[in-house]
Structures are given as structure tokens and as C-alpha cells.
């Protein structure tokens, strides 16, 4: 019996060894799952990253959008995906806010993933439909006050970054708005431009070109400091606009299902590091207001520590706001 056990352990070890050496599996693409709709800000980061990781990985890298429930459906899909390194998740701050926003989670954020490293940090912008009578934040505040009970605000569902930002905004100005959930902020942006919704808080990776093209109105950025991106540097911070202590920065990280072989994890991490140094990737991201992570959080262990600190930071804030979903 003892001998049998030893044999099976050896067999598993041999198998794991074979898998590890084979990564990436010849002709099999690596899929980056984006837990939101195509054409949105998370999707944008993923598509730029996929391009930059192709060469260092020596494999085709494709993006799959698995949208819904504020990102938890896509994240759950990856948590339960085959552990061969060929399915990874690109997720944002929702990774850390969902555990507080959902009473029941289909996966365990800290236990069910291999942390592959952080990618970037992205500011959010508070934007409005082009037909909104307000042009500055001050005018917007007056308009909101005059239209109490009638203002609606789009988001990408509970647990999404836009949900978190909208939540903090409503709580800061002590005004409830009607929230309109979408499966990502790409469709929310379409409705905002069409005037079906009034306001949206979204990552600059999705709003910069609309702000530049004046197809939406922009009121403020959510970072503590003004941005240096040419198209966004005129925007006041929420704090300058008068909302004390308001600060939200979105970050993106890469994850694989727990149990992915160490060799695949190491290779993906190395490819991520190479992508983060790729001048083309840096240029594209910076033009959209994103800042590439250049510190130790590009290592899995530090990335995991950071997410744990974000869970600890946002949990009490969300609990105090009294919002949750079943």
C-alpha cells in the first residue's frame, strides 16, 4: 500500500513536471479573461497587455470577455478553469471590493488564485451626458441639488469600480441617485453619450478620448493629485472640487487558478514584467492616464499582500455605506 502511494506521488510529480516544461502548450493560446464587456476600460488594458505579452510568452494571447455581476462571474470562471496557465484573469480593484459588496461569493479571493503581479494604476473621471446643462463641477453640484430624486448614474454592476466610485460620490454629497447597472462601462458610456443616463464614474482608459472629443462632459478626476495627461490635466481633483478626502485609484492585476504549476506562474510573471517595460505598451497606457506599476507589486507575493491591504481598506468603508448584494 505504502509502495503504491509512493508510486502515485511520483506519477503526479512526473506529470506536473511534464506540464511545467510544456508551458506554454504548443499552438494553444493563452486566454486573458476580462470580467467586463468588450470596448470598456478593463478590456482596453487587457488588449494592450495581450499584445505586449505575446512575444515574451512565445504564444498567442487572446482576450475573452466574461461579463456580469460586477466582475464576479468572470473571476469565478478563472478560479475554476484548468490549472495549466492558459487561462488567466485581468481584474481591477473589484477583486478587493467584491468580498465586502457580496454577502455570498462564488470564490475565495485570497485562496482560489495564484497572484501573477500587478499591471497598472488608473484614475477615474466623473463624467456626464453631453446635454447636461452643467459644465463645471460647481454647476454640476447645483444641478444635482435642483434635480434631487431624478438623477441617474450608470455603473458596471455591484462590485465594479464605477459602482464603488458612485457609492462614495453619493455618500460624500449625501444624495441618493438611481443607479443603472450594465455588464461593463462600455455600454454605459454609449448610453451616457446618447443621453439615456446622466452621470458615470469611469476609468480614464475609457473616458480620455470621449473627453478629448467632447462627446461627454468631464467634471473631475478621483486621484489626490491632478493628472499630467494632456487631455485630462485641466480637470480638478474631487478634493479641489470640494469633496474632502475623496480618492479612488483603480489598479489592475493578473491572476491564474490556484494550483497552476509554478513554472507557468514564473513564465507568465516574467512575460508580464517584460510587457511592463515595453515602450509601446507604456506609451499607449500613459496616453490614457494609466501609470504602469514599476515597484515590487509586479511580484506575485507583493501583489497578494497589496490586495489583502485593499480588502482591509475598503471593507469597512463599504460596510459603513451599507450596500451589499446576495
Residue 177 or residue 265: which is nearer to ligand ASP going by CB? 177
Stretch that binds ligand ASP, among 126-134, 181-189, 209-217, 291-299 (CB under 6 A): 181-189
All cell numbers assigned to 253: 492585476
Alpha helix (H) ranges present in 102-251? 137-146, 161-172, 185-193, 204-212
Q: What x/- string results for residues 90 through 119 when contact with ligand ASP is judged by CB under 6 A?
A: --x-x-------------------------
Partners of 61 in beta bridges: 30
Could you tell me the CA-to-CA distances from 231 to 178, 183, 187, 241, 257 in Å, in that order?
29, 27, 22, 18, 38
Is residue 208 part of the contact set for ligand ASP (CB under 6 A)?
no
Question: CB of 86: closest distance to ligand ASP in angstroms?
Answer: 22
Stretch that binds ligand ASP, among 75-83, 112-120, 160-168, 233-241 (CB under 6 A): 160-168
Is residue 185 part of the contact set for ligand ASP (CB under 6 A)?
yes
| CB of 157 closer than 8 Å to CB of 40 | no
Is residue 202 part of the contact set for ligand ASP (CB under 6 A)?
yes
Angstrom distance (rounded) from CA 162 to CA 185: 8
Q: DSSP letter string over 32-60?
A: EEESS-TTSHHHHHHHHHHHHHHHHHTS-
Q: How many residues contact ligand ASP, by CB under 6 A?
A: 18
Is residue 160 part of the contact set for ligand ASP (CB under 6 A)?
yes
CA angle 318, 162, 296 (to 5 degrees): 80
Task: By CB under 6 A, name the one of 23, 31, 33, 41 that touches ligand ASP.
Answer: 41
3 state DSSP class of 292: strand
Question: CB of 190: closest distance to ligand ASP in angstroms?
Answer: 12
Would strands 30-34 and 87-91 be described as parallel, antiparallel, or unpaired?
Answer: parallel
Stretch that binds ligand ASP, among 5-13, 179-187, 211-219, 313-321 (CB under 6 A): 179-187
Is residue 40 part of the contact set for ligand ASP (CB under 6 A)?
yes
DSSP label at residue 277: T
Query: Contact residues for ligand ASP (CB under 6 A)?
Result: 36-37, 40-43, 92, 94, 155-156, 160-162, 184-186, 202-203
Amino acid at each position: 500500500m505504502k509502495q503504491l502511494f509512493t508510486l502515485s506521488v511520483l506519477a503526479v510529480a512526473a506529470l506536473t513536471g511534464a506540464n511545467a516544461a510544456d508551458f506554454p502548450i504548443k499552438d494553444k493560446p493563452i486566454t486573458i479573461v476580462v470580467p467586463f464587456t468588450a470596448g470598456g476600460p478593463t478590456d482596453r488594458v487587457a488588449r494592450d497587455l495581450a499584445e505586449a505579452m505575446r512575444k515574451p510568452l512565445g504564444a498567442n494571447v487572446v482576450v475573452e470577455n466574461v461579463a456580469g455581476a460586477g466582475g464576479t462571474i468572470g473571476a469565478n470562471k478563472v478560479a475554476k478553469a484548468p490549472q495549466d496557465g492558459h487561462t488567466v484573469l485581468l481584474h481591477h480593484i473589484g477583486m478587493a471590493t467584491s468580498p465586502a459588496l457580496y454577502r455570498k461569493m462564488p470564490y475565495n479571493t485570497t485562496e482560489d488564485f495564484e497572484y501573477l503581479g500587478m499591471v497598472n494604476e488608473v484614475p477615474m473621471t466623473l463624467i456626464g451626458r453631453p446635454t447636461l446643462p452643467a459644465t463645471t463641477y460647481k454647476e454640476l453640484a447645483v444641478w444635482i441639488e435642483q434635480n434631487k430624486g431624478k438623477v441617474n448614474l450608470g455603473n458596471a454592476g455591484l462590485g465594479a469600480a464605477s459602482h464603488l466610485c458612485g457609492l462614495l460620490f453619493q455618500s460624500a454629497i449625501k444624495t441618493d441617485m438611481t443607479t443603472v447597472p450594465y455588464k461593463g462601462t462600455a455600454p454605459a458610456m454609449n448610453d451616457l453619450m446618447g443621453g439615456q443616463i446622466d452621470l458615470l464614474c469611469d476609468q480614464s482608459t475609457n473616458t480620455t478620448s470621449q473627453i478629448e472629443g467632447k462627446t461627454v462632459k468631464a467634471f473631475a478626476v478621483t486621484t489626490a493629485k491632478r493628472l499630467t495627461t494632456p487631455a485630462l490635466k485641466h480637470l480638478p481633483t474631487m478634493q479641489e472640487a470640494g469633496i474632502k478626502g475623496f480618492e479612488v485609484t483603480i489598479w489592475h492585476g493578473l491572476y491564474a487558478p490556484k494550483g497552476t504549476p509554478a513554472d507557468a506562474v514564473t513564465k507568465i510573471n516574467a512575460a508580464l514584467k517584460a510587457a511592463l517595460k515595453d515602450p509601446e505598451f507604456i506609451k499607449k497606457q500613459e496616453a490614457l492616464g494609466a501609470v504602469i506599476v514599476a515597484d515590487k507589486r509586479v511580484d506575485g507575493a507583493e501583489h497578494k499582500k497589496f490586495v489583502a491591504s485593499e480588502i482591509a481598506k475598503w471593507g469597512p468603508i463599504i460596510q459603513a455605506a451599507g450596500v451589499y448584494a446576495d
